[in-house]
Amino acid sequence: MSKSYKYYGMKSSSNEVNEFVKHIIHTNELNEKDGRKKTPICIWGKHGIGKTDLVQQIPKELKYQWCYIAPAQFEEMGDLLGMPKIKEGVTSFVAPEWVPTKEGPGILLIDDVNRADDRILRGIMQLLQNFELVSWKLPPKWQIVLTANPDGGDYSVTTMDDAMLTRMMHITMEFNVKSWSKWAELNGVDPRGINFVLTYPEIVSGELTTPRSLVQFFNSIQTIKNLQEELPMVYKLAASCLDEETVSTFTTFVQQNLTKLIEPEKIIHTKQFERDVNKAIFEVVKVTSICLHNAKLAAIPKDLNQFKDLKVLDLSCNNIAKISGYFGQLKQLEELDLSMNIFETFPKQLLKMTQLRKIDFRNNRNKGFMGSLSQLDIPEEAKEALPKCEILS
């Protein structure tokens, strides 16, 4: 059964959320100067997608102060409001330790706000409305940013009512492989891990497999130079924090040597994908068999010479009349099917491919005989040059 999640605001990549938050912060600063109210920002998204990391990065970029609270950890209202004191017969509340005391600019992150108890959640409403609670206020030039998990599904969250929702501006953060890979590259994530996510972006949607748990796993394999040699340990590490399907996919990824595909920055920044990316893929991926039967080819595709490990090639039932010189670069080719084409003579280029063990050259159409089938003679020089090859004609 699919899970029904409820989000608020437009679904956006991490880069777009970053821009959105900075824009609202700038607007709030202008409003504060003019005596108008500031508006808190709430970022929605699934667990482990990087909401908290994104908000933590913004004060570093803007050189702002930073304060963090996780109200799900608050057991009593005093954790939010502070402790009461009586002075000259008047009761007031001393601000709790987490409340910033210096003037901003600064950002207060209220993390996973809707995982808090309902009493705490209702208590936060005044803070969102006026940037103050009972006897204390946030210092000037401070912004409030919240993160929240979506309603619905299997998240243990407290639903926020409309009165609370309308006190904030909302945006939903979704995983975007290109944005994530840029972040991962800048933050020193193992390139083999980045390659894996770029190759299988669809796996970043599991219950245990999230961008956060993937980074944990990639950090744990960083000291393992050869993943194939240490595959049992790699498997244990993956199984400790990822979904079973992801573990299986990564194991296959390692076994097929795809960890060496290409540096992530080339995929992200390249302007010539064919040259910089496809070429690297062909050099690593071991394709040993290709079938192009009845593919309506008038010539042999030039890109075939990039498959250095090709052993079996079926080009039957096409309109191929000749073989180009680059075909000889297929040094591992053992079986070649050229039947049902339009060759008039046996291709001389094949005479140098002594590794061939079988060539099917039957039923080639002679263009000079109204398309009728003809049996072409195999020259003696072919039999001499390819003594270990079975030639069918």
| Sequence ranges of the domains in the chain | 5-173, 177-260, 286-392
N- to C-terminal Cα separation, the chain: 58
What's the chain's average pLDDT?
Answer: 86
**pLDDT(282) > 80:** no
User: Could you give phi then psi for residue 243, rounded to 5 degrees?
Assistant: -65, 155
Q: What confidence category does residue 266 fall into, taking pLDDT thresholds of 50, 70 and 90?
A: low
- Judged against a pLDDT cut of 50, whether residue 370 lies above it is answered with no
Listed range (5-9, 42-46, 324-328) with the worst mean pLDDT = 324-328
**5-173: which CATH topology?**
Rossmann fold (3.40.50)
Q: What integer pLDDT is reported at residue 149 of this predicted model?
A: 92
What is the C-alpha separation between 26 and 97, in angstroms, rounded? Answer: 27
For residue 268, the model assigns a pLDDT of 55
Nearest C-alpha neighbor of 128 from the set 106, 149, 150, 113: 113
42 dihedral zone (left: phi>0; alpha: psi -120 to 50; beta) = beta
Name the residue among 156, 110, 165, 149 with its Cα closest to residue 133: 110
Count the Cβ atoms, other than its own, within 10 Å of residue 317: 17
Identify the sign of the CA torsion 21, 26, 29, 33.
negative
pLDDT band of residue 366 (cuts 50, 70, 90) is low
- Residue 139 DSSP SS3: coil
User: What are the phi and psi torsion angles at 335 (to 5°)?
Assistant: -125, 130
Token pair listed for 91:
């009761």
Q: Is the pLDDT of residue 276 over 60?
A: no
Which helix or strand (DSSP H or E) is residue 144 part of? strand 142-148
How many CB atoms are closer than 10 A to CB 188?
A: 10
pLDDT tens by residue, 224-251: 999 988 999 999 999 999 999 999 999 9
The pLDDT of residue 369 is: 42
DSSP for 13-54, written as a single string: -HHHHHHHHHHHHHHHHHHHHTTPPP--EEEE--TTSSHHHH
Do 259 and 271 meet the contact criterion of CB atoms below 8 Å apart?
A: no
pLDDT tens digits along 172-193: 999 988 888 888 888 899 989 9
Average pLDDT of 201-210? Answer: 86
Residue 262, exposed/middle/buried by CB under 10 A (0-12, 13-18, 19+)?
buried
Q: Assign a CATH topology to domain 286-392.
A: 3.80.10
pLDDT digits (tens, 9 = 90+) for 128-159: 999 998 888 999 999 999 999 998 767 788 88
- pLDDT tens for 47-60 read 888 899 999 999 99
Q: In terms of Cα–Cα distance, which of 386, 325, 329, 331 is closest to 361?
A: 386
